[in-house]
Amino acid sequence: MDYDTITVSVDGAVGTLLLDKPAKLNPLSVACLQELADAARWFDRQEEVKAVIVRGNGRAFTAGADLAAFTGGGGPDRAGTDAGRVMAEAVTGMQAVTVAAIHGHCVGGGVVLAAACDLRVAAEEVRFVIPEVDLGIPLAWGGIPRLVREIGPAATRDLVLTCRPFGAAEAQALGFVNRVVPESELEGAAEELARLLASKSAYTLRATLMAADAAAEALVPTGGAWNDADSLAAARRDPESREAARRYLESLGR
């Protein structure tokens, strides 16, 4: 597969989906989101693949969405604004079991990407942050229902409204992360987990995923996430939200 922002590979029954713009900390641009969704569908056609590792190249899992694109007065069209939701649904619906291997920074939309995966392994030093409210935009892409499923409504309100950073230990205590390992062991731990999963019956893996996903959807539906793109567009038109975005970007030196 030939992509500009990601690299896809297969080794037997295990695939890898690598966010591959390390110089920019693997930003989730519209192009990257569209390629992630396409790669998820491509993996669904690879019947031999039972597990897929999702990870980032370089110093971070991902620095999140392209801030300028999603906070400016113009920004992408509705299809571009909706690309994150489409990506998250494509990753969630993958036939293979997905294992997120998270290191460095995992920011905003990167947390949604991780939440769309079935299992998550994090490096001890990882730093999570969901800065959207500080940016004057709502957390979109179906992020709110996915976080509520994983960590509950109270913790979701805390992390999304305060925008405070949190680490691997807290993420594991909240139930967001399944395993925490030293960063030097992260790649090996994710590979070991993926190989363990790939040793099992493909039918049984898929049946279990479908049952778990159906139960999660019944508890906290994500169907309303299609409207997230409109909420983002409305935030870009709101003067107070735009001023919040300006201050935040200024604080980052952008």
Alpha helices (H) in the chain, listed in sequence order: 30-44, 67-71, 78-81, 83-92, 109-116, 143-151, 153-162, 168-174, 186-198, 202-219, 228-237, 239-251
Q: Which residues of 101-139 are buried (b: 16+ CB within 10 A; e: fewer)?
A: bbbbbbbbbbbbbbbbbbbbbbbeebbbbbbbbbbbbbb
> Are β-strands 51-56 and 14-19 bridged in parallel, bridged antiparallel, or unpaired?
parallel
CA angle 51, 57, 63 (to 5 degrees): 105
d(CA 160, CA 231): 16
- One-letter amino acid at 120 equals R
Is 35 catalytic? The answer is no
Set 47, 124, 125, 132: catalytic member? 132
Active site members = 132
